[in-house]
Structure 1
Amino acid sequence: RLDSVSFFRSEVRLCQSLRASLKSVADMPRALSRLALNRGGPRDLGALRAGFEAARAIAELFAAAALPAELAAALAAIKALPEALAGHLSEALDDELPLIKRDGGFVRTGYHAELDEMRALRDESRKVIAGLERSLIEETGIRSLKIRHNNVLGYYIEVTANHHSIMTGSDGAKARFIHRQTMANAMRFTTTELAELESKIANAADRALSIELAAFDRLTAEVVGEADSIRAGAEALAALDVSAALALLSESEGWCRPTVDASLAFEIVGGRHPVVEQALRRSGEGPFVANDCDLSPESGAKAGAIWLLTGPNMGGKSTFLRQNALIAILAQTGSFVPAQSAHIGVVDRLFSRVGASDDLARGRSTFMVEMVETAAILNQAGERALVILDEIGRGTATFDGLSIAWAAVEYLHEKNRCRAIFATHFHEMTALAGKLPRLHNVTMRVKEWEGDVVFLHEVGKGAADRSYGVQVARLAGLPEAVVARAREVLHQLEEGEVSGKTNRLVDDLPLFSVAVKREAPKPVKSDALGEALVAINPDEMTPREALEALYRLKGLASR
């Protein structure tokens, strides 16, 4: 697949022509299944016809190309599609097809002579009767001869009484014209031909539909008889489609060709999340920050590494977890990947425990669901697995959660021995890096500026000492009094002033604290540059004064 994608990246015009041809191809396997189960309609046959026509055009496109193995096999399967069936469908099916076969009208004019006749009788019966009338006038020479119709006699031939001798004057005329009724001034006759025509007109619609249904059944039987070759051809078209699509995507997004082998390597340089990157580009929020990830075994080691990822809320931990899992999946589907380079040893299973959700229908809390999923990972992950775990243990008491997360990391390291990224807010776990040789601490970097936190979204070696939850809460819009009180409580907890009990905190409950202290206004930062800019009235300034003011503003900005 990677060779196929590379081929289409180098053959841009061929790739574009292929994409244009594939646009007319419907879902051939679905149409084939519906027809095989006797649930199909004319449009399913039409879908196969369109697929055959596109396959013929695609085979001509690749006739002179030197193709990689996957594309060469696909082209062989396309050429093996039944040409006789394709020609039969094109010959038999009309351009516009109804949804249901009982509606009729899907067989092409000229395909079946009797069907064309029945349709003519059904749709143009007056013209047929007029034509027969003209032929009888020429045969008898009676210019006043008329073919009429009533509910009693049906269709009949009417002549005036003066011409009855022509109709009955000989044995041949009597045998040809059968007398039906004598009137005062006219006589009425019929013929075997007219009687047959009347019956055909009456039954033309039913007969036309039965002919079309029989044709549909024959075509369906032919299609089912060629089911294996059609299915193989459809899979070949799908292989061409996915390879061409991945080539266009990788070219437009700047993806690289990964190296996929039988090792335990997992080295991503400049990896990006494909979905988040596009979302940022569309919203104009700036470029995506690429990050490296190396879970490859160290020299002499027989198992991959585990990264313990710490960092603030909103720092990008979950995005980093997901992007590496997506890169592994993309690489093993044969796609180029969103990175500068990638070397991935085959991953036999990918385990993910990200996000929070409950299962009320089964009586499972959020924490219970988290534990069930974690148990499945720890019981099934092997050395070739890739595991991403996000904040295990956050749904219960702090020490319980820390204990579970601590034990889970040790189990992954000693028992599962797999490549893994473990994101957590339990900073105490970073001490494990000194105990477990394959465990490495990494963190999402941030900067603090004037009491606010700036997320750099960069992954670097080391461990975070804070989660910046209060700052994130402030960014989310929590009332300033709540944020201020949270800072006080956090400071007391960090200083160890509350050891085991919360008496001092209860004495100053946030509820009463807010009642006593009205919400303090946000501090106004001094902005000399802004004040100077507001004081300027450009309409009253000379050019020299404007130039001097510009230099003053520049001096203020550089402070």
Structure 2
Amino acid sequence: MSRKLTPMLQQYMEIKENTNDALVFYRLGDFYELFFEDAIVASKVLDLVLTGRSAGGEEKAPMCGVPHHAAENYIQKLVAAGYKVAVVEQVENPKDVKGIVKREVVEIVTPGTYFEMDENSTREIASIHADLVYATVVSCNLMTGSLKAIRVVNDPIEIIKVLQQFQVKEIVVDAEISQSLLEEIRSKTQIYISYEETLNQDVKHADRSIEIALRRLTQYLIYTHKRELTHLSDVVVLNDQSFLRMDYSSMTNLELIEHQKGKELTLYYHLNRTQTNMGSRLMKEVIMQPLVSVDAIKLRHQQIETLMNEYLMTDSLRSNLKQTYDIHRIVARLSTGKHSAQDFVRLKQTLMLFENIQKLVSDNELFEFMTQLDPLVPLYEELDRSIRDDAPVLLKEGRTFEKGIDAELDSLLDLSHNGKQWLLEYEAKQKELTGIKNLKVGYTRAFGYYIEISKGQVMNVRDDFGYIRKQTLTNAERYISAELQEYEVKISQASERILEIEQKLFDKYTQFVEGYSSAIHQIGDAIAYLDILLALTEISLLPGYQKPLITQEKTVNIKNGKHPVLEQTLINHQYIASDVDMSEARKTLILTGPNMGGKSTYMRMIALNVIMAQIGCYIPCESAEIGLVDQIFTRMGASDDILMGQSTFMVEMLEAQAALSKATESSLILFDEIGRGTSTYDGMALAQAIIEYINNSVKCRTVFSTHYHELVELESMYSGIKNVHVEVHEENDHVTFLYRVIDGRADKSYGINVARLAHLPQSILERATANLRRLELSKEHLNIGAEVIEVPIIPQEYHTVKSKLDRINVNELTPMEALILVSELKKDIGDDTHE
């Protein structure tokens, strides 16, 4: 087919063959054109008119195009729809080439590498390396340059949870990856899958699995950006104990970042009072990774208290922050070659404001994270001296750099901007030289610059004037001179030369600024952190918010605690506060009461207040003492989307298993209606066994809500278990929910009362009431047994080791893999000794 194509389309097809997984944006003049199948796809997604172009012979190639100056918007739409875009540009000057101009792919824009969308959104790209037991995920946020790694059990569901938690839009794998894993990712997520077989050998890491994933990821980033990226930070390994851990299911259940009914109902929306995009992005991380150090939380409390008390300073800090720019984004644009002169201007202004901020907090050691940084005064001064504040986004004829930066540029700018004045002075000079008073210097596009002398004065033109006759008119003669010709050449080449010089200067300053990339990034980190401190200060100043006492005890003691989001968003009625009293003697709370009574809200209230307390924020209550929580596990509502294809009951059991196998005595478990997905007897039997196991073996703080009222008997059987219920007022078969949790058991379920509130037909309500009375009289009363069962305490390490061994076919292990496995199993059981 290619032999029949025109030379231009032959070039297009050669490029397409090497980027067959991307739509090719092929630059032709002022347009990017797409051809053949790419044009058909793009025309549908972008709503463009599909036309045709001669392909050679009688064949017509389907074609559509977009203006180059508007390409960014079209690329954004394609990427948002899940496509890659290969941007093809001319790499030769057409003036220097006979025939077709050489073109190359200068960038491949992908769903995971595109950061020109919403500045507050999180778009990550990740690489996965899996062995027989583990999968290592290395994830990169290109805008911030951050890299993080986490290792999970090599199970598709666990891997997908991590990808969802990191908000990954694209993964990079090799051909050896498990196809069943890829099928699970394709069926359960919108994540784009890309392949990269080459590893970047320049990348090193102590952990071999992280190294392989990182090498593949960085090689892919070089391939897509056609350059090394200089702004990527060191990998942060997240498998340590440095923050409160929650998996994707828990974050979803607790509505931390996302909510089905709208983002305004999330904790992130409530807390995000930040002034900058950098602070807004950091707030997400802070919420998803609360602190687990008493000292770190107390330091944040001290910082917030200072900002609360020094309100004049706080106002000034907030005012300065509002005027800063997203310098993380600027560094990313520099690293990827997408920056403009305006990025230099914004960087300069932000550095100036940063110095102001440093001065405001200079006397307070609590803000060393800000004051200990180099304000980069030399960088600011050089940019201030060199770059005009009104510099254009695109380089345009001398409007980017200040005078005095380049002598030739200044001369050309004078020539270009003061051309009329030069011509007037030249004309006056020629009049004086010749004595011809009506001599004129003019210009036409066809003829160029000329000296015009009337017919009556031609005899006064002498040879020593250096004039050369070029054109005869009816009433005059036109001449040129060497000086005028030289000026014409200069002026015609000035614009082109100005752009050349500006491009060289722009590249020079790019290299200069890139040398400060790491230091600029640190300043961005400090601005973002100060921003979240100011946001948490604003929240902590809300009426009814109190500083929690953070301890190492196994307690959650909250007096009149409120759900922080609902308290702000409830319109129809006032939010009713409830106490939380959890301690060694009350570590397992069995929560009963009717649907709609507020059980799930109460459980979320506990978790959200713990999270807010451990990010250093004040919480809505009268008082609070919170013992550090290391992990939160939840099973609340229908968070089954990620595990579609599995029953609700299977999802319940998987999430319960995760909690039971991973929780420690410092963890918090919130289980809502575990066991409801199967029969009454099965469900109640499982619920009882799970409560007993958590209370007697895991021994962590737990709230277990249930409709199995028989389970309230467990309070009298085991120490540590206490009954609590949502308060209800009943009068003449009508119930009023009081939305408050108090000690004791609920009397009944009130299901028919809830149905009455939902306005079911009266005949159904009457029949249900009669049925209920008959069943209560006739059924054999369920008895959970008064015998106290000693639950065997099975070490969590046993579950971990057994799970790994169950996955392995020993006949497939190589000797090296067996040695690695033994080493991993020794770590799992806490034996780190070496022979």
Q: CA deviation at 1:51?
A: 1.6
SS at match of 2:546: coil
For 1:44-99, what per-residue CA distance to the aligned partner results, in whole angstroms no more than 9, with x for missing partners?
A: 33332232122122223234x4x243x1332222xx12112112333434444545
Q: CA deviation at 1:182?
A: 5.6
1:316 pairs with 2:578 = no
- How has the CA–CA distance of structure 1 residues 184 and 415 changed in structure 2, closer, same or farther, with 3 Å as cutoff? same
Determine which of 552, 559, 576 is the counterpart of 1:289.
576
For 1:351-402, what per-residue CA distance to the aligned partner results, in whole angstroms no more than 9, with x for missing partners?
A: 1211114349841222222222222112211122111111111222222221
- How has the CA–CA distance of structure 1 residues 129 and 276 changed in structure 2, closer, same or farther, with 3 Å as cutoff? same
Say what the alpha-carbon RMSD is for the aligned residues: 2.8
Q: Which sits farther off after the overlay, 480-489 or 120-129?
A: 120-129
SS at match of 1:247: helix
CA distance in structure 1 between the partners assigned to 2:744 and 2:591 by the alignment: 9
> Which residue is equivalent to 2:368?
72
> Which residue is equivalent to 1:335?
617
> Which residue is equivalent to 1:487?
769
CA distance in structure 2 between the partners assigned to 1:116 and 1:14 by the alignment: 44
> Which residue is equivalent to 1:37?
336
Q: Is the 8 A contact 1:359 1:366 kept in 2?
A: no
Q: CA deviation at 1:326?
A: 0.9
Q: CA deviation at 1:22?
A: 0.7
> Which residue is equivalent to 2:45?
none
Q: Is the 8 A contact 1:115 1:208 kept in 2?
A: yes
Q: Is the 8 A contact 2:469 2:479 kept in 1?
A: yes
CA distance in structure 1 between the partners assigned to 2:674 and 2:640 by the alignment: 15
1:197 pairs with 2:487 = yes
SS at match of 1:421: strand
Q: Which has the larger radius of gyration?
A: 1
Determine which of 563, 583, 604 is the counterpart of 1:273.
563
SS at match of 2:545: coil
For 1:197-244, what per-residue CA distance to the aligned partner results, in whole angstroms no more than 9, with x for missing partners?
A: 323333343333333333332222222111121111111112221112
1:47 pairs with 2:346 = yes
CA distance in structure 1 between the partners assigned to 2:417 and 2:770 by the alignment: 90
1:220 pairs with 2:513 = no
CA distance in structure 2 between the partners assigned to 1:111 and 1:270 by the alignment: 67
CA distance in structure 1 between the partners assigned to 2:599 and 2:478 by the alignment: 97
> Which residue is equivalent to 2:403?
110
SS at match of 1:253: coil
Which amino acid in structure 2 is aligned with residue 285 of structure 1? H
SS at match of 1:252: coil
- How has the CA–CA distance of structure 1 residues 21 and 440 changed in structure 2, closer, same or farther, with 3 Å as cutoff? same
1:437 pairs with 2:694 = no
Q: Report matched runs for 1:64-143 at 5 Å.
A: 65=363, 67-69=364-366, 71-77=367-373, 80-96=374-390, 98-99=392-393, 101=394, 107=400, 110=403, 112=405, 114-115=408-409, 118=412, 125-126=419-420, 128-143=422-437
- How has the CA–CA distance of structure 1 residues 43 and 405 changed in structure 2, closer, same or farther, with 3 Å as cutoff? farther
Q: CA deviation at 1:169?
A: 4.2
1:305 pairs with 2:598 = no
> Which residue is equivalent to 2:40?
none
Q: Is the 8 A contact 1:306 1:422 kept in 2?
A: yes
Q: Is the 8 A contact 1:97 1:105 kept in 2?
A: no
1:6 pairs with 2:294 = no
Q: Is the 8 A contact 1:446 1:454 kept in 2?
A: yes
> Which residue is equivalent to 1:464?
746
Structure 1 residue runs of 5 or longer lacking an equivalent are 299-303, 501-559
1:259 pairs with 2:549 = yes
Which amino acid in structure 1 is aligned with residue 537 of structure 2? A
CA distance in structure 1 between the partners assigned to 2:398 and 2:582 by the alignment: 63
> Which residue is equivalent to 1:506?
none
With the length of structure 1 as denominator, give the TM-score of the two structures.
Answer: 0.79
- How has the CA–CA distance of structure 1 residues 26 and 470 changed in structure 2, closer, same or farther, with 3 Å as cutoff? farther
For 1:517-550, what per-residue CA distance to the aligned partner results, in whole angstroms no more than 9, with x for missing partners?
A: xxxxxxxxxxxxxxxxxxxxxxxxxxxxxxxxxx
CA distance in structure 2 between the partners assigned to 1:293 and 1:388 by the alignment: 13
CA distance in structure 1 between the partners assigned to 2:321 and 2:614 by the alignment: 25
SS at match of 2:763: helix
Q: Is the 8 A contact 1:75 1:236 kept in 2?
A: no
As a proportion of its length, which structure holds more strand?
Answer: 2
SS at match of 1:321: helix
SS at match of 1:148: strand
- How has the CA–CA distance of structure 1 residues 495 and 212 changed in structure 2, closer, same or farther, with 3 Å as cutoff? farther
- How has the CA–CA distance of structure 1 residues 161 and 388 changed in structure 2, closer, same or farther, with 3 Å as cutoff? same
1:154 pairs with 2:448 = yes
Counting matched residue pairs gives 482
Q: CA deviation at 1:168?
A: 2.9
Q: CA deviation at 1:119?
A: 5.3
With the length of structure 2 as denominator, give the TM-score of the two structures.
Answer: 0.54
- How has the CA–CA distance of structure 1 residues 456 and 207 changed in structure 2, closer, same or farther, with 3 Å as cutoff? same
- How has the CA–CA distance of structure 1 residues 206 and 482 changed in structure 2, closer, same or farther, with 3 Å as cutoff? farther
Q: Is the 8 A contact 1:349 1:384 kept in 2?
A: yes
- How has the CA–CA distance of structure 1 residues 126 and 488 changed in structure 2, closer, same or farther, with 3 Å as cutoff? farther
SS at match of 1:460: strand
1:424 pairs with 2:706 = yes
Which amino acid in structure 2 is aligned with residue 41 of structure 1? S
CA distance in structure 1 between the partners assigned to 2:631 and 2:301 by the alignment: 21
Q: Which sits farther off after the overlay, 179-188 or 387-396?
A: 179-188
> Which residue is equivalent to 1:552?
none
- How has the CA–CA distance of structure 1 residues 378 and 158 changed in structure 2, closer, same or farther, with 3 Å as cutoff? same
> Which residue is equivalent to 1:249?
539
Q: Report matched runs for 1:502-541 at 5 Å.
A: none
Q: Is the 8 A contact 1:74 1:239 kept in 2?
A: no
Structure 2 residue runs of 5 or longer lacking an equivalent are 1-299, 783-835
Q: Report matched runs for 1:490-501 at 5 Å.
A: 490-496=772-778
- How has the CA–CA distance of structure 1 residues 354 and 164 changed in structure 2, closer, same or farther, with 3 Å as cutoff? same
For 1:431-454, what per-residue CA distance to the aligned partner results, in whole angstroms no more than 9, with x for missing partners?
A: 112222111111111111232111
Q: Which sits farther off after the overlay, 485-494 or 437-446?
A: 485-494
CA distance in structure 2 between the partners assigned to 1:149 and 1:133 by the alignment: 12
Q: Which runs of 4+ in 1 moved over 4 A?
A: 96-99, 102-106, 111-128, 161-167, 181-185, 497-500
SS at match of 1:335: coil
Q: CA deviation at 1:162?
A: 5.0
Q: CA deviation at 1:133?
A: 2.8
> Which residue is equivalent to 1:145?
439
Q: CA deviation at 1:279?
A: 1.0
Which amino acid in structure 2 is aligned with residue 317 of structure 1? K
CA distance in structure 1 between the partners assigned to 2:780 and 2:651 by the alignment: 33
- How has the CA–CA distance of structure 1 residues 186 and 354 changed in structure 2, closer, same or farther, with 3 Å as cutoff? same
> Which residue is equivalent to 1:507?
none
> Which residue is equivalent to 1:537?
none
Determine which of 35, 46, 59 is the counterpart of 2:358.
59
- How has the CA–CA distance of structure 1 residues 7 and 147 changed in structure 2, closer, same or farther, with 3 Å as cutoff? same
Q: Which sits farther off after the overlay, 478-487 or 235-244?
A: 478-487
What percentage of residue pairs aligned between the two structures are identical? 36
Q: Is the 8 A contact 2:304 2:537 kept in 1?
A: yes
SS at match of 1:158: strand
Which amino acid in structure 2 is aligned with residue 198 of structure 1? E
Q: Which sits farther off after the overlay, 139-148 or 395-404?
A: 139-148
Q: Is the 8 A contact 2:669 2:700 kept in 1?
A: yes
- How has the CA–CA distance of structure 1 residues 11 and 169 changed in structure 2, closer, same or farther, with 3 Å as cutoff? same
SS at match of 1:199: helix
